Structure 1
Amino acid sequence: MSTVSSGPLAAAPAGSFRGRVEDDARRWLGIRYAQAPVGDLRWRAPRPAADTTEEVAATAFGAACPQPPSPLPLGDGIAQDEDCLFLNVWTPDAEARTPRPVMVWLHGGAYVFGAASQRTYDGARLAVAGDVVVVTLNYRLGAFGFLGLDAALPGAGFDGNLGLRDVLLALTWVQRNIAAFGGDPDQVTVFGESAGAGLVTTLLATPSASGLLHRAIAESSPASSVYGPERAGRVATRFLSSLGIDSDAPDAADALRALDSATLAEASHELFAGVPEEDPGTLAFSPVIDGDLVPEAPITVISEGRALAIPLLIGTNKDEASLFAYMKSPLIPVTGERIERMFADMAAESPEVALPDRAQVLAAYEHLRHRALGLGIAGDIGFRLPTLWLAEGHSAVAPVHLYRFDYSTPFLRLVRLGATHGSELVYVWGNLDGGPKDLTFRLGGRRTGEELSRRMQERWSAFAHGGDPGWPEYSSDSRATLVIDRHDRVVDDLDADLRRAWGDEVLSFR
């Protein structure tokens, strides 16, 4: 049973924060890093929270950004509010002789769901096992954080890429304040999964991120799902139309600002579901290539070896798409018809791109049948191929370590999910006891899972300490890949068949 003692005090430039000790870790929760993005600050770039001279009680998570209902709870008693820009800090409950490396987490959720308060992301076990400082944070989601209103309503006073700007401001807060928590601001590793990993890879191609992070970990990054301003403007115009607002009307901006957050969240949900149904393989919300904060497509910048030259640990899971099929999610086109539509759309929109030969692609999946064929292609299009392109390009300018997560418990195999999207998270965080709703270990596998978690935490934290997670670097010669399973192994050119089928040219699945 957890024990809670009187809390430690961190005296930082931003203020003095009183935390608490639990599970052998010090924790400071709900620290405001930005002013509330409400009123005149809605859809504007975040502004730093004011410093305070009063002691701040940092013992409870802040609110999560408004979002659609999710099968993953946001945490006990967590409210939803536009005033959501908070971060949390965990450290081992022991003084360190030297400042500890810092690991800053960006949660996933298709840029629409999630919060730092989710139970999986409790940082105590990772902080203690890895002897690191763990930071988790909220950023604005959906229409509040990733809607291209600046493109749909130019001159109306709206800013773009707000969720990404939130992350940059939080990293600036870390640089200024983390030493007060025992962290080393010169050793910051940003890590994330799914949309959070998409933000990580976008940061690598964001010039203003230079100096704010020194290493990066991307777990299942949808790196190719970053779109241009024209597309962002079309999606935003559709959003306005769903609310009965004419984007050409002179009062459009005022009408939008007058709406309450619940109405905006509901419209955000409808857009999230509707866009990928009509445009397979795309997301309604994502970072935008705006020519300013994000000058070019991140996947282009990184694959051409022009990103921030910092060490990168990157990988995917073996059965990424199975979760989307299980949940009947429109985000990834797992049926043959929708995959064919995606290819047709890509050919029409980018006629100058030489698409891989259809028969050649299908030959790489000839060992799969029916449902598994679509799942294999969908998972590779959405995650594995972009990851390989990034690894290949970035390895020319910085160390890269590539992995594939293959482990699956008996229960996940029984329900045909396998090593699905997000299944590595409990092992990275060490939080295998998800409560009665967590069925992962219902049919066994917990002992193996605990050992696997120990190895993953050791590897991830070793990367944060010195950039070496304990397996060979990826290079265009060997293409070394760590396969994480019941027993880990290193395989050279694990994805050779995949590369032969699709070719080495970076494709845009738009």
Structure 2
Amino acid sequence: MDVLDAGRSERPGTVVADTTYGPVRGHGDGAVVAWKGIPYAAPPVGDLRFRSPRPPEPWSDVLDCAVFGAMAPQGHDTSVPLDPSMRIDEDCLTVNVWAPPPDGEPRPVMVWIHGGAYCLGSSAQAVYDGRLLVERGDIVLVTFNYRLGALGFLDLSSLSTANRTFESNLGLRDQIAVLEWVRDNIAAFGGDPGAVTLFGESSGGGSITTLMTVPRAEGLFHRAIVQSPPATSVYGAERAATVARRYLELLDLPAEGAGDLIGMPVDDLVKAGDLLVDEIPTRVPGTLAMAPVVDRDLVPHYPVAAFQKGLSHRIPLIIGSNKDEASIFKFMRSPLLPVSSEAVQQMFTGLAEDNPDLSPERLAEIAAAYPDATKSRGVLALSRDAAFRMPVLWVADAHSRHSPTWMYRFDHATPMLKAARVGAGHATELPYVFGNFGTLNPDPTFWLGGRKSTLEVAGRVQRRWLAFARHAVPAALDGSKHWPPYTEGTRSTLLIDNHDSVVVDPDHDMRIAWGDEVMGFS
């Protein structure tokens, strides 16, 4: 579609955009128009359960897009702030767009992948509301729902038969379907399909590091911002088959009865998935029950290994992690990350078993880099570095050999978060990126003050992210500290705090202790 034809006013406060599947009505206040709940795929129900996304049925009447679509089926984990009024349904494959009223001028596009350990979350979470970011950056913003947990990241392909096919990496396939939808439709909303920035956090960031090595995704996005990715939490087909068999056991199904999953109530599938989500990381700390799988089909290689072999897409990249990633998992008592000395020791045992070339002496060298390894502070640091900091460094080192790369570390925390010993914990940077503070109920962020400095930090983060989306260079152009590219020669890293600073190789000792060999579970 010619961008000059993008959008048309239907009545005051609304704009209709014509997509490849039918017209959609957005609602706005003059500054930003929002289209919510646009179907990008057919409902993945019945025979389409555990199958790749299919195109939706076209429609001819204008589809009113005033409210978010249903969120993907998932457990009710209180650690993720979700609106209790939100509907949960398998028919969840919808996309949301925020944009200035289309005026014929193509704008950069930012596509957000929400996190939640591949089993939780929704694009409707208030922290992801796109209005402020669009107003500040004059961009088009896309968020979306994708299948989660057992329905999205449990690989049942080993149970396929002549009569029933189960496909792998369904959540990733949904994400690719969204990127294809953006390519084909975003011009209708005033966006430039040739300037798409994919950004995401936690499992959303891990999805991006995986997609950056997926041939089918190449060319669908042109730059990436990756926040706190568990980049090594991608598993092999044999391990995936073992997890699939355990899932059937939790449902009292024999292997030959896998076909019964198609007709089972979705609540039963989610409950069994929740049990698995708790069980797997408890038995093998440092691993996830459900995550992307190297199926040699959609995902041909372990992503971090693919980065190291020079197989990642040639696009500019911003990547980083938070100073105190692990603290929030201890605060929530979550099994998703090992936060006790016993669990960390089990994690190291698993590393040794999964990496036969990893000697006890080598593990001892790593542990020696953490003088408080038996205390809470050292345990959290070890867990943080294994899950986030080292995978980020491995990816940045490899990608910077052929494409522009920038590294950050998010260090800022409000006085309240510091007092609670959360600090710059996992996901605490999210409101800084979107500008949406006060989305928790109640929200303790500013109980001890710090609002003014926090909003200043948020402004700098947003300006850098938006400059990258527009120019492929994160230049804030507002007098902020210059952010040089990351290379293996300098390892320049932007430390984001009350006052930004650029530090050369800030994690030198930790990086040397861990070494260059990629460690992970398969």
TM-score (norm 1): 0.95
Alignment counterpart, residue 321 of structure 2, candidates 316, 323, 339: 316
Alignment counterpart, residue 484 of structure 1, candidates 476, 496, 500: 496
Please list every run of 5 or more consecutive structure 1 residues that lacks an aligned counterpart in the other structure: none
Confirm or deny that 1:179 pairs with 2:191. Answer: no
Confirm or deny that 1:222 pairs with 2:227. Answer: no
Q: Which residue number corresponds to residue 248 of structure 2?
A: 240
**Count of aligned residue pairs for this structure pair:** 503
Letter in 1 for 2:55: P
Letter in 1 for 2:377: A
Q: What whole-Å deviation, never above 9, does each CA across 1:20-57 have from its counterpart, x for those lacking one?
A: 01483110000000000001111110001133222110
Superposed displacement of residue 368, structure 1:
7.2
Is residue 34–residue 96 contact of structure 2 (8 Å, CA) maintained in 1?
Answer: yes
Partners of 1:154 and 1:370 in 2: how far apart? Answer: 50
Partners of 1:214 and 1:356 in 2: how far apart? Answer: 43
Is residue 248–residue 258 contact of structure 2 (8 Å, CA) maintained in 1?
Answer: no
Q: Which residue number corresponds to residue 487 of structure 2?
A: 475
Is residue 304–residue 394 contact of structure 1 (8 Å, CA) maintained in 2?
Answer: no
Letter in 2 for 1:351: P
Superposed displacement of residue 141, structure 1:
0.3
Please list every run of 5 or more consecutive structure 2 residues that lacks an aligned counterpart in the other structure: 1-10, 476-482
Report the CA distance shift for 1:475/1:356 in structure 2 as closer, same or farther (over 3 A).
Answer: farther
Is residue 356–residue 503 contact of structure 1 (8 Å, CA) maintained in 2?
Answer: no
Q: Which residue number corresponds to residue 349 of structure 1?
A: 354
Is residue 342–residue 509 contact of structure 1 (8 Å, CA) maintained in 2?
Answer: no
Partners of 1:105 and 1:58 in 2: how far apart? Answer: 19
Is residue 92–residue 127 contact of structure 1 (8 Å, CA) maintained in 2?
Answer: yes
Alignment counterpart, residue 417 of structure 1, candidates 419, 422, 445: 422
Is residue 143–residue 285 contact of structure 1 (8 Å, CA) maintained in 2?
Answer: yes
Q: Which residue number corresponds to residue 286 of structure 1?
A: 291
Partners of 1:76 and 1:285 in 2: how far apart? Answer: 24
Q: Which residue number corresponds to residue 337 of structure 2?
A: 332
Partners of 1:233 and 1:244 in 2: how far apart? Answer: 17
Confirm or deny that 1:58 pairs with 2:65. Answer: yes
Alignment counterpart, residue 496 of structure 1, candidates 493, 502, 508: 508
Is residue 98–residue 141 contact of structure 2 (8 Å, CA) maintained in 1?
Answer: yes
Is residue 411–residue 495 contact of structure 2 (8 Å, CA) maintained in 1?
Answer: yes
Partners of 1:76 and 1:17 in 2: how far apart? Answer: 26
Q: Which residue number corresponds to residue 68 of structure 1?
A: 75
Report the CA distance shift for 1:100/1:344 in structure 2 as closer, same or farther (over 3 A).
Answer: same
Is residue 73–residue 90 contact of structure 2 (8 Å, CA) maintained in 1?
Answer: yes
Confirm or deny that 1:89 pairs with 2:83. Answer: no
Is residue 100–residue 133 contact of structure 1 (8 Å, CA) maintained in 2?
Answer: yes
- Over the aligned positions, Cα root-mean-square deviation in angstroms equals 1.7
TM-score (norm 2): 0.93
Superposed displacement of residue 505, structure 1:
1.6
Q: Which residue number corresponds to residue 505 of structure 1?
A: 517
Partners of 1:29 and 1:287 in 2: how far apart? Answer: 27
Confirm or deny that 1:451 pairs with 2:456. Answer: yes
| Matched residue SS, 2:466 | helix
Partners of 2:450 and 2:417 in 1: how far apart? Answer: 10
Superposed displacement of residue 355, structure 1:
6.6
Q: Which residue number corresponds to residue 207 of structure 1?
A: 215
Q: Which residue number corresponds to residue 437 of structure 1?
A: 442
Partners of 2:391 and 2:103 in 1: how far apart? Answer: 39
Confirm or deny that 1:147 pairs with 2:154. Answer: yes
Deviating 4+ runs (over 4 angstroms): none
Q: Which residue number corresponds to residue 114 of structure 1?
A: 121
Partners of 1:299 and 1:274 in 2: how far apart? Answer: 26
Letter in 2 for 1:498: M
Q: Which residue number corresponds to residue 196 of structure 2?
A: 188
Q: What whole-Å deviation, never above 9, does each CA across 1:443-471 have from its counterpart, x for those lacking one?
A: 11111111111111100111111111121
Partners of 1:509 and 1:227 in 2: how far apart? Answer: 7
Partners of 1:453 and 1:161 in 2: how far apart? Answer: 34
Identity score, percent? 47
Partners of 2:182 and 2:148 in 1: how far apart? Answer: 21
Report the CA distance shift for 1:161/1:91 in structure 2 as closer, same or farther (over 3 A).
Answer: same
Report the CA distance shift for 1:488/1:97 in structure 2 as closer, same or farther (over 3 A).
Answer: farther
Partners of 1:341 and 1:499 in 2: how far apart? Answer: 22
Alignment counterpart, residue 304 of structure 1, candidates 280, 301, 309: 309
Q: What whole-Å deviation, never above 9, does each CA across 1:125-155 have from its counterpart, x for those lacking one?
A: 1111111110000000001001111123454
Letter in 2 for 1:500: I
Q: What whole-Å deviation, never above 9, does each CA across 1:37-93 have from its counterpart, x for those lacking one?
A: 001111110001133222110111000011111223333631000100001000134
